[in-house]
Structure 1
């Protein structure tokens, strides 16, 4: 597999998972447009690729607006002559429970994750269609968007919305040969670093040590380097038949998420009346109720997080 001659944009790629994606694309031959809101962070990210023999440039701007989306595509065309790959990774967190979440915190997360994905994909897809490019669009979802998570109304809405858009775009862009997929990463990030359950795994990753097998296999949790190869694969010609999918990756585990499907179907002649629901509904609903939130295996004793300081 090679990405030689390909040009990629990776939003939110100054550090963390986004930087790992950009570096992996460059390692496989792609020229990369780095994006971050901080100029020094973006410059440092570009340097890691250039120093390794790759080609990269940067656009310093917050994702969300049409203007930033246009600037990213224009940079790819001006610097490297085109655009073949878009990875929409940029994101922010403003976590709190529903009754404490402000309008500003909701709007910010929706703007960066959901609107930012929309504006960047719209701009990239327009360029690809107009120039006959059978491009690759890779968005970033989350288990929170698939199952929900306490304290993340805004983030869950954005990530669920991204997967919904991916399914729609896969239909709309199929004729142009453009694939669109969502990756559902489970990895050591700024978000998971705050979760006590992942303490031992995050500390190992931070210290450059092997992550405990329990996390890599039982939980499917790893580092950024475990997610990046999937990004490069979906960006390649080898993945031309894969589109409209939500694919989970973390540690040693790879998963294909199902699309929502009915789990039970019943009929009532003439339509459902409240009396029918009172007599038959409870049995149908209780037998088929679906879980919410992520469920993790109990931590072994040796991986328990330290007790909080008193």
Structure 2
């Protein structure tokens, strides 16, 4: 087991993707601090991990504050004797288009995803640095943070910010031997259950059958378990040379997302004043796309029409 003797915290790990990450870390030998806002769900997650032969404890609290971040680190140290790995997965959704999104909708998502990642990473890194531990930071991003998505101003901002923080942390943590990476999962969740496009994939998973190859290969869309292997790998000693990266995982596909780079340059003597731009914007016909563009479903994977 590649993580034998290691201790991990996984925020938002009572169910879904977070639970899959916690279970895989435990399967690879790590003791795990499970975190959720629901005590029953957190307890069930701990029970599932221990029943499978792993070690786990729970901290029931919403991430975001420094106090909760400290509570999580203390739980790892007091219960298992240390901390080596932090996976920041906790999140909430408050999807609304811009004019319908309230201040509370925006602040709630930013507080859990972005501030929660910041406070937990700051606390974990302080422990790593003070104790000379070559720790692992794995922050969970989203395709929405990379490309945008209708109705997700708050979520897109948070997930894009997480990747930007990871790139910064990779620089700041390098001397301490700590790595920081972002994982961009593409997997079946409670949210994708409500999207007709993914109906056949979700139905297959519910039956315990492999998802159709179109989803797993063409879309790189799969189960939570398809992402957890990457999380465990990035937490291991074998990944010591990987830092500052955004890596996508889903179905049968692994992706390395590029850092933002200028893709076109244009020069104009004296600079690009208003008149020069009016005379000819140099990037017309070369503008970048926004949002995800999904290919058309094959006929056999089209959802059944809803009876009226």
Alpha-carbon offset, residue 208 of structure 1? 1.5
Question: How far apart, in 2, do the equivalents of 1:194 and 1:242 lie?
Answer: 35
Question: How far apart, in 1, do the equivalents of 2:142 and 2:206 lie?
Answer: 21
CA deviations 1:80-138 (Å, max 9, x no partner) are 01000000000011111111111111111100000000000000011001110000000
Which residue is 1:128 aligned to? Answer: 128
Aligned pair 1:20/2:26, yes or no? no
Question: How far apart, in 2, do the equivalents of 1:168 and 1:287 lie?
Answer: 33
Question: How far apart, in 2, do the equivalents of 1:275 and 1:207 lie?
Answer: 63
CA deviations 1:157-178 (Å, max 9, x no partner) are 0000000000000000000000
Which residue is 1:152 aligned to? Answer: 152
Which residue is 2:220 aligned to? Answer: 220
Question: How far apart, in 1, do the equivalents of 2:236 and 2:37 lie?
Answer: 28
The TM-score, its normalising length taken from structure 1, stands at 0.98
Which residue is 1:10 aligned to? Answer: 10
> Counterparts in 2 of 1:94-243, with a 5 A limit?
94-243=94-243
Which residue is 2:301 aligned to? Answer: 303
CA contact (8 A) 1:50 1:56 kept: yes
207-216 or 230-239, which deviates more: 207-216
Question: How far apart, in 1, do the equivalents of 2:250 and 2:240 lie?
Answer: 23
CA contact (8 A) 1:141 1:184 kept: yes
CA contact (8 A) 1:14 1:41 kept: yes
Question: How far apart, in 2, do the equivalents of 1:101 and 1:199 lie?
Answer: 28
Alpha-carbon offset, residue 309 of structure 1? 4.0
SS at match of 1:83: coil
153-162 or 201-210, which deviates more: 201-210
Question: How far apart, in 1, do the equivalents of 2:29 and 2:155 lie?
Answer: 33
The TM-score, its normalising length taken from structure 2, stands at 0.98
Question: How far apart, in 2, do the equivalents of 1:306 and 1:148 lie?
Answer: 29
Alpha-carbon offset, residue 206 of structure 1? 2.3
Runs of 5+ unmatched residues, structure 1: none
- The list of structure 1 runs, each at least 4 consecutive aligned residues, that deviate by more than 2 angstroms after superposition, is 306-310
Alpha-carbon offset, residue 244 of structure 1? 0.3
Alpha-carbon offset, residue 49 of structure 1? 0.8
CA contact (8 A) 1:263 1:288 kept: no
Which residue is 1:293 aligned to? Answer: 291
Cα-Cα RMSD:
0.9
Alpha-carbon offset, residue 271 of structure 1? 1.5
Alpha-carbon offset, residue 193 of structure 1? 1.4
Which residue is 1:47 aligned to? Answer: 47
CA deviations 1:201-228 (Å, max 9, x no partner) are 1121122221011000000000001000
SS at match of 1:54: coil
Which residue is 1:89 aligned to? Answer: 89
SS at match of 1:173: helix
Alpha-carbon offset, residue 287 of structure 1? 2.9
Question: How far apart, in 2, do the equivalents of 1:163 and 1:194 lie?
Answer: 27
SS at match of 2:176: coil
Q: Between Structure 1 and Structure 2, how many residues are aligned?
A: 308
Alpha-carbon offset, residue 272 of structure 1? 1.1
Question: How far apart, in 2, do the equivalents of 1:126 and 1:103 lie?
Answer: 32
